[in-house]
Amino acid sequence: MAEEVVLLDFRPSPFGMRSRIALAEKGIKYEYKEEDLRNKSALLLQMNPVHKKIPVLIHNGKPVCESLIQVQYIDEVWHDKAPLLPSDPYQKATARFWADYVDKKSMEDKGRRASNSKERIHRNPEADGKGAWGQALLWRRKSWICGCCIHSVL
């Protein structure tokens, strides 16, 4: 049986970008379906009835929601291809920590931005010194990818 992989997404979404990068890293062919976030499709509402948001990865008719969960799912399903996370448990935990940190930080910044429209949501990682700003997309070897660049962790 041929595998059917569909990604419901909105191109500028950093969360969708995380899933697209994971699929590309694994070499998975998929159908991309652009969503209009102001007029959500019936397929999106059916596949993600709880949150009704993108991205949604549909694998053989079964939806997987939330980009970090999608990355883990992609890594587990296509385990015969290059792993997305390090094999060392400590390095894997560190990668997950930074992905979680950046998710929370970007949501915190987004909330702040909504209350103060003059504040920028994304800062220059080099100017910050921590390299943890932006939207973490994916851990790969000794670096992680955000919406604007690649950051070395070690």
Give 132's contacts (C-beta < 8 A, 6+ positions apart).
Answer: 98, 101, 102, 105, 125, 151
Is this model's pTM higher than 0.75 or not? no
Burial class (CB in 10 A: 0-12, 13-18, 19+), 62: exposed
Q: Which of 98, 9, 13 is nearest to 54 (CA)?
A: 9
Domain architecture of the chain: domains with CATH: 5-77 (3.40.30.10), 89-152 (no CATH)
pLDDT in tens, 65-115: 999 999 999 999 999 998 998 889 999 999 889 888 888 887 676 666 555
Q: Please give the single-letter amino acid code of residue 54.
A: I
Q: Which of 60, 1, 48, 3 is nearest to 26 (CA)?
A: 3
Q: Give residue 2's pLDDT.
A: 73
Q: Give residue 110's pLDDT.
A: 61
Which ranges of the chain does DSSP label H, i.e. alpha helix?
A: 14-26, 42-47, 67-77, 89-115, 125-128
CA separation for the pair 55, 34 (Å, rounded): 10
pLDDT in tens, 22-73: 999 999 999 999 999 999 999 999 999 999 999 999 999 999 999 999 999 9
Query: Could you tell me what percentage of the chain is helix, strand and coil, using 3-state DSSP and rounding each to the nearest 5?
Result: 40, 15, 45
Q: Please give the single-letter amino acid code of residue 132.
A: A
